[in-house]
Amino acid sequence: MKKTFLFVTLMSGLIALQSCESKKEEVVGSNSTEAVDTVPLTPIVEAVGNPTDVKADPGTFQVKPLKYGYDELNEYIDAKTMETHFSKHYLTYINNMNKALKEAGNKSSNIEAILKSMDMNNAALRNNAGGYYNHLMYFDIMSPNAQKEPSGELLTKINETFGSLEQLKDQLSDAAAKRFGSGWAWLVVKEDGQLAVTSTPNQDNPLMPGVETPGKPILGIDVWEHAYYLKYQNKRADYVTAFFNVLDWKEVEANYNKAK
């Protein structure tokens, strides 16, 4: 009787142990599948601040208010990323640019003139004036109510140059993907009035001296990790695809009309 009891106890213990083990495996298995397939991989934190509270230190250049709330592009670019990007990165570029201009004795308030005459050896001015201009464009060409396609003269020019809007998007995605490390992908109007896709490293841009494809930017995609890492981690291509959903072609057309 005692032996039977001991046997039953042992067996049920073993079964319990086994089912515990297999449960553990199941959990581990499902977690690792999730970790590979699901975006986002980590919980996205909500934005807590308000874009209207973002103010630069006294200086030549100030913050241009964001035209939408941090959470309004949420489906494609999460609120926390927008908040950090606008209230920390963009703000820092402005403050540091103002300091660098002061140190260089540069009193200009014309950002394009500053970029075109850039001393490329002045790292502080190059990085921060570039950062200011590039982000000004980036935040301006995104919208929760984006016009999804170009129209009019810009559309005609895109079709002439690239074959179609889809082919232009492919070229921009390709430029964004091939930019090693941090930088930008651009659509520019060249000196001769033609459109071109190009990319630049760090916070450089096509207005600066000595760049591969000089021109006036009308569309810029930030491919620094800080622009997408919370939602997309290493998947830069997914972020670029998402970006096209919030890209407001109305703004790009306005930029084109000024640049051509």
* Contact residues for Mn ion, defined by CB under 5 A: 222, 224, 227
Nearer of residues 77 and 154 to Mn ion, judged by Cβ: 77
CB of 93 to Mn ion, least distance (A): 8
Nearer of residues 10 and 237 to Mn ion, judged by Cβ: 237
Nearer of residues 131 and 150 to Mn ion, judged by Cβ: 131
Q: Which amino acid is at 75?
A: E
Of 142, 139, 128, nearest in space to 60 by CA: 128
Of 132, 108, 110, nearest in space to 204 by CA: 132
CB of 137 to Mn ion, least distance (A): 11
CB of 151 to Mn ion, least distance (A): 28
> Which single residue brings its beta carbon nearest to Mn ion?
222
CB of 109 to Mn ion, least distance (A): 23
Nearer of residues 162 and 224 to Mn ion, judged by Cβ: 224
Distance (Å, rounded) from C-alpha 53 to C-alpha 81? 17
Helix (H) or strand (E) holding 220: strand 216-222
Nearer of residues 132 and 249 to Mn ion, judged by Cβ: 132
Helix (H) or strand (E) holding 186: strand 183-189
Give yes or no for a contact between 200 and 186, defined as CB atoms under 8 angstroms apart. Answer: yes
Q: Which amino acid is at 2?
A: K
- 95 Cβ partners below 8 Å, 6+ apart? 56, 57, 59
CB of 127 to Mn ion, least distance (A): 12
Distance (Å, rounded) from C-alpha 188 to C-alpha 259? 9
